[in-house]
A and B are shown apart, each in its own frame.
Chain A
Amino acid sequence: GAVVSQHPSWVICKSGTSVKIECRSLDFQATTMFWYRQFPKQSLMLMATSNEGSKATYEQGVEKDKFLINHASLTLSTLTVTSAHPEDSSFYICSAFGGINPYNEQFFGPGTRLTVL
C-alpha cells in the first residue's frame, strides 16, 4: 500500500504554545487528507477534511481557529494546534486519499502524540 508519514511522532509543549504537525503522502498524490483525533482507548474522531488548494471542512464542534489546517500541495498537509492547552493532549492521525474514486482506500499515517504540559 501507499505510505503516509507524520512528523513529529511525539511532541511535548508548554501550555500556550503552538504546535505544527505535518502529514505527507510519500508515493502518491493526495487530493484529500483527513485529520483525526484519538483519545486514549477511544475511537478516531474526524476533525476536518482538507482538499489541496482549498479551505478545510471542519466537523461540527471542532474550532477551526484553534486547529489550523493547510493543504498547500498534493503531498503535504499540516495541522497547527494554536495556543495549545492540556485538554488538547491527544493522538492525532492523518490519512490521505488519492484520485476521484470515492471508494479508494484511505492510507493512514503513524500518528503524532501531543502532550501539553
Chain B
Amino acid sequence: AQSVTQLDSQVPVFEEAPVELRCNYSSSVSVYLFWYVQYPNQGLQLLLKYLSGSTLVKGINGFEAEFNKSQTSFHLRKPSVHISDTAEYFCAVLNILTGGGNKLTFGTGTQLKVEL
C-alpha cells in the first residue's frame, strides 16, 4: 500500500510569513494525494487534492500544493499565513483496493503554529 511521510512534526512561523509543509509519498504508478486540516477537537476538512492533470493544485483558504513526480513530493504552501491557520495538517494518499473500495492513509501530521 502507498504511504506518505511528513518530516516536520511542528512548524512555527510568524504571521504574514510564507510557509511550506512537506509531504513525500512512496513511489507508485498512480497516486492520489490530499491535504487536510484539523482544528482542535474537530474533524478533518479537505484543503485540496491531486488526482491528475495540472501539478499545481489550488485549495481553500489560500493554500496550494505542487505535485512533483521526480521528487515524489506534494508540499503544501501558503504565501502569507494568518493566526487562524494555526492547526494540524495531514497529508494523505488514497489507496484503491483491488477488491473494490478505497482507503485513505494519513501521514503523522504537522502542527502549524502561527505567531504574532
Contacts from A to B (Cβ < 8 Å): 1, 4, 6, 32, 34, 41-44, 46, 49, 51, 91, 93, 95, 97, 102-103, 105-106, 108-111, 113
Query: B102 an interface residue at 8 Å Cβ cutoff?
Result: yes
- Shortest Cβ distance from A85 into chain B, in angstroms? 22
- Would you call A103 and B32 a contact (CB within 8 A)? yes
A-chain residues with CB within 8 Å of residue B107 when the two chains form the complex: 43
Count chain A CB atoms within 10 A of each CB in B43, B102, B104, B106 and give the residue with the most. Answer: B43
Contact with A along B59-103 (1 / 0, CB 8 A): 000000000000000000000000000000010001010000111
Contact with A along B32-57 (1 / 0, CB 8 A): 10001000011111100101000000
- Would you call B45 and A49 a contact (CB within 8 A)? no
A-chain residues with CB within 8 Å of residue B45 when the two chains form the complex: 108
The total of interchain contacts (Cβ-Cβ below 8 angstroms) comes to 53
A105 with B49, Cβ < 8 A, contacts A32-B101, A93-B43 known:
yes
Is chain B's interface secondary structure helix, strand, loop, or mixed overall? strand
- Would you call B101 and A49 a contact (CB within 8 A)? yes
Contacts from B to A (Cβ < 8 Å): 32, 36, 41-46, 49, 51, 90, 94, 96, 101-109, 111
- Would you call B43 and A109 a contact (CB within 8 A)? yes
B-chain residues with CB within 8 Å of residue A42 when the two chains form the complex: 108-109
A113 and B32 CA atoms in complex are apart in Å by 30
- Which 8 residue pairs are nearest across A and B when measured between Cβ atoms? A108-B43, A102-B102, A108-B44, A110-B43, A43-B106, A43-B108, A44-B106, A111-B43
Could you list 6 further interchain pairs (A-B, Cβ under 8 angstroms) beyond the known A103-B32, A108-B36? A34-B103, A41-B109, A44-B90, A44-B106, A46-B105, A103-B51
